[in-house]
Chains A and B, each alone.
Chain A
């Protein structure tokens, strides 16, 4: 049950990440086209603004994938010194704290979107983008991240309850050292 749940989450987020990557590539192509156009005196205009929206949406939707790939950095100085059960407790604690925090962020995104909806706010730019149009998918990304966090936490809790520490470590442990970025 827990295993199939984690597998489904991983598959889903794999595809989400591919879509996010394609979005980023399209944005790069768009920026590039604009640079070339500027050299001949034309321009789409608003590449900065669009890059910003792409970044906000890509960031919120990519978070869940990074979570399932153990991408979010943790300092495991103490954690690495205890046994398998101790590590599982550290992991569960940090998943719980993460899930609560992300839920809070997702909830706090709503006032931002709500204001844009009630005022029909438009960006203060030449494009006059209706803000709700870009803030809705942005907020949906944070809700998605919160949902992924809670589901992963529940799956890992089941694994730990079954004393399957190896599997819980694979699901919510720390990244392999060589995997970390920067």
Chain B
């Protein structure tokens, strides 16, 4: 069954049938060939119970929050402010790219939105100040991927929903690896630019009072992050409710900076409905596939399969990592995550691994998929925003950061506490 599903999955995906529909088709296939009783009778109920779900409404809320921030011009101010703080480092403005992406990750749940936001503001600066385009654009593509690791993260909500794990715990677990990865990106940038200064650009030192003034521009984003995460851990609100608070906060910030108009609001709403529907079609499809796989006895088959392979838990994880790296070249984030969860997560949990920890490891690997060609969405997003130069420049520039992600994945495997320490400490 595992083999048939995997082969069917790749065959149907390569026909360019929409990912959500492919998941339904696989579910129908399992029902026809592997299930002792007709599962299709449960289809209507499953679609209803999957979408009638208060947890998932966090998805449109976080998407809307991001859309409002992106369209309100707040990104430009944040970027300028962070430029004051980090451009003295070797690599100059490249650090501002990473830092801005990190800050936006902390309020937006999406990676492409983060990369698109930073790319739009940063690219004109690169040309003006004569930066080497490779490292500069690679840093934006890589920094943008942090959006799905640093909470709030739409991908972690989807993971938590499909694997029945706690979303607040997942959020906490993503925080430290996310910040560590951001720091890693900056360290790598500094090292590369110290060895080869031509890859960076002018280092600029700003007078301290100017730096202090810039801090004020960062305040709204800090505040928004604190409100969202704070209300969750104070127990005032569930992640879903915190998302509603975030939407209100984003509207308030946009209004304070004069970025609210009917047109902007309409665009934000339309973008939200489109993205939410796209996500929900794959989530409902994955949910149906999950249900058929479980009903047809995936658990037992997995045990037999693992027993026959005789792999140690560590070997299993390494094989899984390789699978993600290879698939990541061809399939983009959410689809990659959703199509693999029904098969891979039970397999990993069967081996005794913590599903929260594995969620974070999976997100790091999926982030890498975002910046590895030929299908790396963030590469295209950044290329789209810079409008000149070759695609290969962005790809080359992203390589050091992809290596940093690989190192992070290795660290997570060696020291699971990097992810689990914070949720364990805060939630006994």
Q: Is B21 an interface residue (CB 8 A)?
A: yes
With known contacts A24-B272, A71-B274, A90-B16, A35–B245 Cβ distance under 8 A? yes
Give the complex CA separation of A90 and B51 in angstroms: 29
Contact check, A181 vs B40: say whether CB atoms are below 8 A apart: no
Task: Assess whether B247 is interfacial by the CB under 8 Å rule.
Answer: yes
The verdict on B331 contacting chain A, using a C-beta distance below 8 Å, is: yes
How close is A15's CB to chain B, nearest CB, in angstroms?
11
> A62-B273, A108-B43 given as contacts; is B244 within 8 A of A181 (CB)?
no
Q: Once the chains bind, are A105 and B43 in contact (CB under 8 Å)?
A: yes
Tell whether A58 pairs with B278 under 8 Å between CB atoms, given A22-B269, A52-B52, A73-B335.
no
Residue from B48, B272, B284 with most neighbouring chain A CB atoms (10 Å)? B48
Chain A residues with a Cβ closer than 8 Å to the other chain, count: 68
Tell me the minimal C-beta distance from B195 to chain A in angstroms.
33
The reply to whether the CB of B18 lies closer than 8 angstroms to some CB of chain A is yes
Tell me whether A133 is interfacial, beta carbon within 8 Å: no
- For A91, the chain B residues whose CB sits under 8 A away are 16
Using Cβ atoms and an 8 Å threshold, which residues of chain B touch A181? 63, 110, 112-113, 274-275, 278-279, 334
Q: Which residue, of A32, A59, A69, has the highest number of chain B Cβ atoms within 10 A? A: A59
Contact with B along A94-118 (1 / 0, CB 8 A): 1001100110110011111000000
Q: In whole Å, how far is B152's beta carbon from the nearest beta carbon of chain A? A: 13
User: Which of B18, B57, B60, B238 touches A72 (beta carbons < 8 Å)?
Assistant: B18
Contacts between chains A and B (CB distance < 8 A), count: 224
A17/B47 in contact, CB under 8 A: no
Contact partner of B14 among A53, A54, A78, CB < 8 A?
Answer: A78
A18 within 8 A of B: yes
Please report the C-alpha to C-alpha distance between residue A29 and residue B251 in the assembled complex, in whole angstroms: 12
B278 near A56: Cβ-Cβ < 8 Å = no
Question: Are B279 and A182 in contact (CB-based, < 8 A)?
Answer: yes
A108–B40 CB distance below 8 A:
yes
Q: Are A35 and B236 in contact, with the CB atoms below 8 A? A: yes
Q: Which B residues, 373 to 393, have Cβ-Cβ distances below 8 Å to chain A?
A: 374-375, 377, 380-381, 384-385
Q: Given A66-B281, A180-B332, A182-B333, A74 and B16 touching (CB < 8 A)? A: yes
